[in-house]
């Protein structure tokens, strides 16, 4: 077919091994493509390599073997500064723990990635952060510190922060792991809307089979190998 965009992220025969002397392989010989506008869930037993896979997709770690390609660009020989720039501009991260800076308001926390990328002026950054928080139902809470927010509200601030620089891919590691069922459902609804309405791709590591089943594609990983779901659905 012609006109189809290429994958946003592609892993080609990726292996990650750690240790001196006694080696531990976290992921092995993984091929995986993340396409625009798809919601991918990654599931597997504890210690199977789910988070290691996500960190490789997000350029938070580097493979021992194989290639990680982001928007057609091979990242193998990039400097850490270049990798950090890609993380800031193209990738957004949401973790099980929100990692908000406790001394800053929700609004300031969301503005921090924009300040690091330095593409916008202060007024534009503030306006965008306010809009993101408003979209996520936090218009009345943007001047509160993280300690003044509920767990679900903190995670929504973390999602707003992850979206601050308009990333093409959102990477989420157990984003509902510390939330009650109502807050978990709210986060999942936000993810679904982001995929359906903005065309972003989301890759979510989860242990919750019910949440995983609601993604567009379910990737299962066992002992560091993908055993199903590594092929994107045809469009």
Rounded-to-integer distance, Cα 46 and Cα 221, Å: 10
210: left (phi over 0), alpha (psi -120 to 50) or beta: alpha
SS3 30: strand
Query: What value, to the nearest 5°, has the Cα angle with vertex 116 and ends 113 and 118?
Result: 110
Using DSSP bridges, classify how beta strands 201-205 and 169-173 pair: parallel, antiparallel or unpaired: parallel
pTM of the model: 0.89
Mean pLDDT score across all residues of the chain: 89
Closest residue by Cα to residue 128 from 80, 226, 119: 119
Q: Phi first, then psi: what are they for 165, rounded to 5°? A: -100, 20
Contact 178, 95 (CB under 8 A): no
Residue 184: CB atoms within 10 A of its CB come to: 20
170-195: pLDDT as tens digits: 999 988 877 788 888 888 888 898 89
The answer to whether residue 50 scores a pLDDT higher than 80 is yes
Give the tokens for residue 109: 């926390």
Rounded-to-integer distance, Cα 180 and Cα 91, Å: 27
Residue 161: CB atoms within 10 A of its CB come to: 26
Domains (range + CATH), the chain: 9-99+167-228 (3.40.50.300)
The answer to whether residue 54 scores a pLDDT higher than 50 is yes
81-97: pLDDT as tens digits: 999 999 999 999 988 77
């Amino acid at each position: 077919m012609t006109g189809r965009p290429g994958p946003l992220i592609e892993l080609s025969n990726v292996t990650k091994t750690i240790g001196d002397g006694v080696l531990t392989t976290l992921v092995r010989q993984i091929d995986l493509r993340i396409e625009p506008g798809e919601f991918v869930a990654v599931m597997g037993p504890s210690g199977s390599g789910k988070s290691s896979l996500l960190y490789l997709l997000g350029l938070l770690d580097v493979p021992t073997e194989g290639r990680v390609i982001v928007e057609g660009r091979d990242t193998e020989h990039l400097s850490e500064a270049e990798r950090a720039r890609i993380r800031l501009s193209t990738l957004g991260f949401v973790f099980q723990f929100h990692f908000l800076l406790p001394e800053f308001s929700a609004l300031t926390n969301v503005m921090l990635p924009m300040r690091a990328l330095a593409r916008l002026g202060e007024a534009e950054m503030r306006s965008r952060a306010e809009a993101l928080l408003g979209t996520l139902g936090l218009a009345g809470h943007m001047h509160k510190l993280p300690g003044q927010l509920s767990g679900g509200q903190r995670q929504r601030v973390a999602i707003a922060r992850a979206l601050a620089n308009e990333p093409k891919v959102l990477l989420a590691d157990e984003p509902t792991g510390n939330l009650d069922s109502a807050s978990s459902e709210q986060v999942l609804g936000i993810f679904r809307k982001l995929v359906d309405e903005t065309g972003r791709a989301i890759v979510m590591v989860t242990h919750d089979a019910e949440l995983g089943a609601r993604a567009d594609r379910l990737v299962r990983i066992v002992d560091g190998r993908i055993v199903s779901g590594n092929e994107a659905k045809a469009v």
